[in-house]
Amino acid sequence: MVESCVTAAKINSLKPDEEISVVWWVIFGPAELASLITRLEQASITEKLAALMKRLLPFLLAPIAAMSANSADLKIERLDPALDRLIPADAKIEKLAEGFTWSEGPTWYNGSLVFSDVPENVIYRWTSGATKAVPFLKPSGMLTPREGFHEQGSNGLSIDAEGRLLICQHGERRVARLEKDGKQTALTDKFEGKHFNSPNDLVVTKNGEIYFTDPPYGLEKGNESPLKEISFNGVYRLTKNGELSAVIKDLTFPNGIALSPDEKTLYIAVSDPKAPRLMAYSIEPDGSLSNGRVFFDAAPLVTLERKGLPDGLKVDRAGNVFTTGPGGVLVISPNGKHLGSILTGQPTGNCAWGDDGSTLYITANMFLCRVKTTTKGFGTAVPK
């Protein structure tokens, strides 16, 4: 119990600010209470209550979400026999860790899995055999606290040819690289002198170029945010020598991004509730894009029971697309046919290949999961 032994009578006599402090102390302890006071000492009581509830909601809702993600919800839906060649008939969805606010950006890095908890501004690491993930990098996306952000942490992660971690940082509004000594290098933070919205996800080509998406999800009020400096939500290309170009300007909410194995096609997930879909673009020799077309329309799959929209995606070495979407992870053939789904029972943020390239790791809301497959991911032969 609380060391100060707050009695019921004392609690009843507390002012609103003091009530918040007692609740915070009971749940999180004195260190977290001190942190709260430091962060919110200039805020109004309404703002303090809002901040408290934002932090408490994951804990209050966790039992409900956990019950909704029982073993009956974790299943593989097979719509085409071709799925059996990718995911074995006896494959199971395993829950590896839980308790996150919104898990995203899984990436195999130095022999273990790292992933973002976007609202909490943390990158976690999970190692094979562990029963929980541990913080790897905090803060991960906003290094200096500032106002106006909805989700300030890191989001999409990847690695470069030298095995260094690349990070989409909402709060810093940039794409950064984590150096071997732990320092961070900003690779790009502005387009034509204007800050990005909140870089979301990225993919690296064999020659070291980076394509990344920039929707407004990290900003409070999204497209209406007073911090938004760029009129569109773009997709960008960053060359090895630092040249930046906007290759797509006409998508409403570009999100996940992936390459085909021959690197001739770029896939973009569009998480627009009015038109959820996967787009495909031809990559020209100069790195520009052409022939934009709908690769897969996810709108018919959206139901109250199947939560989520197209978000993160990865491609296997045969060109099959594993994309998060309504219900979990959709498996789509290279010609756009829906072969089946890995149903997580949760809104699902992203997925990535790990281990020897045949294990698909999945970040599903507050959970980290995995599925063993009989295929292998494209681009997983990286330094360990």
- For residue 27, the model assigns a pLDDT of 37
Lowest mean pLDDT among 9-18, 221-230, 260-269: 9-18
Say which range, 150-154, 318-322, 375-379, has the weakest mean pLDDT: 375-379
pLDDT of residue 378: 85
Tens digits of residue pLDDT in 287-330: 999 999 999 999 999 998 999 999 999 999 999 999 999 999 99
Q: What is the pLDDT of residue 73?
A: 77
Same domain? For 302 and 200 the reply is yes
Is residue 235 over pLDDT 60? yes
Q: Are 280 and 296 in contact (CB under 8 A)?
A: no
CA distances from 91 to 75, 211, 243 (A): 9, 33, 44
CA–CA dist 366, 133 (Å, integer) = 12
CATH of the domain at 147: 2.120.10.30
CA 91-93-99 angle, to 5 degrees, is 165
Q: pLDDT at position 287, please?
A: 97
Grade residue 121 by pLDDT with cuts at 50, 70 and 90.
very high
Q: How many CB atoms lie within 10 A of CB 363?
A: 30
29 and 86 inside one domain: no
Mean pLDDT score of the chain: 87
pLDDT band, very low/low/confident/very high, at 40 (cuts 50, 70, 90): very low
**Spatial separation of the C-alpha atoms in residues 28 and 251, rounded to whole Å:** 42
368 and 229 both lie in a single domain: yes
Last residue of a domain, one of 61, 89, 105: 61
Q: Is the peptide bond before 139 cis (omega within 30 degrees of 0)?
A: yes
Task: Identify whether 381 is part of a domain.
Answer: no
d(CA 307, CA 178): 33
Over the stretch 84-101, which tens digit does the pLDDT of each residue have?
999 999 999 999 999 999
pTM exceeds 0.95, yes or no: no
Number of domains the chain contains? 2
Residues 53 and 81 both lie in one domain: no
Of 59-63, 145-149, 238-242, least confident by mean pLDDT is 59-63
Domain region containing 23: 8-61
Per-residue confidence (pLDDT) for residue 49, from 0 to 100: 57
Residue 66 lies in a domain: no
Asked whether residue 18 falls in the same domain as residue 102, the answer is: no
Q: pLDDT at position 47, please?
A: 54
Q: Indicate if 95 and 45 belong to the same structural domain.
A: no
Domain membership of residue 28 (yes or no) is: yes
Least confident of 28-42, 213-227, 328-342: 28-42
Q: For 192-198, which contacts have Cβ atoms below 8 Å and span 24 or more sequence positions?
A: 194/229, 194/230, 195/227, 195/229, 195/230, 196/230, 197/173, 197/228, 197/230, 197/233, 198/149, 198/151, 198/155, 198/170, 198/171, 198/173
Claim to verify: residue 267 and residue 309 sit in the same structural domain: yes
Has residue 3 been placed in a domain? no
Q: Are residues 43 and 159 in the same domain?
A: no
**Interval 169-181: pLDDT, tens:** 999 999 999 999 9
In this prediction, residues 335-341 reach a mean pLDDT of 98
The pLDDT, as a whole number, for residue 32 is 45
Taking residues 173-196, report their average pLDDT: 97
Give the mean model confidence (pLDDT) for residues 18-31: 39
Q: Do 47 and 186 fall into the same domain?
A: no
Tokens representing 175 are: 């794409």
Whether 150 and 209 map to the same domain: the answer is: yes
- The verdict on 315 and 350 lying in the same domain is yes
Q: Is 67 inside any structural domain?
A: no
- What is the pLDDT, as a whole number, of residue 26? 34
Cα 356-361-362 angle, rounded to 5 deg: 165
Residue 217 lies in a domain: yes
Instruction: Say if residue 26 is in the same domain as residue 129.
Output: no
- C-beta neighbour count of 264 within 10 angstroms: 11
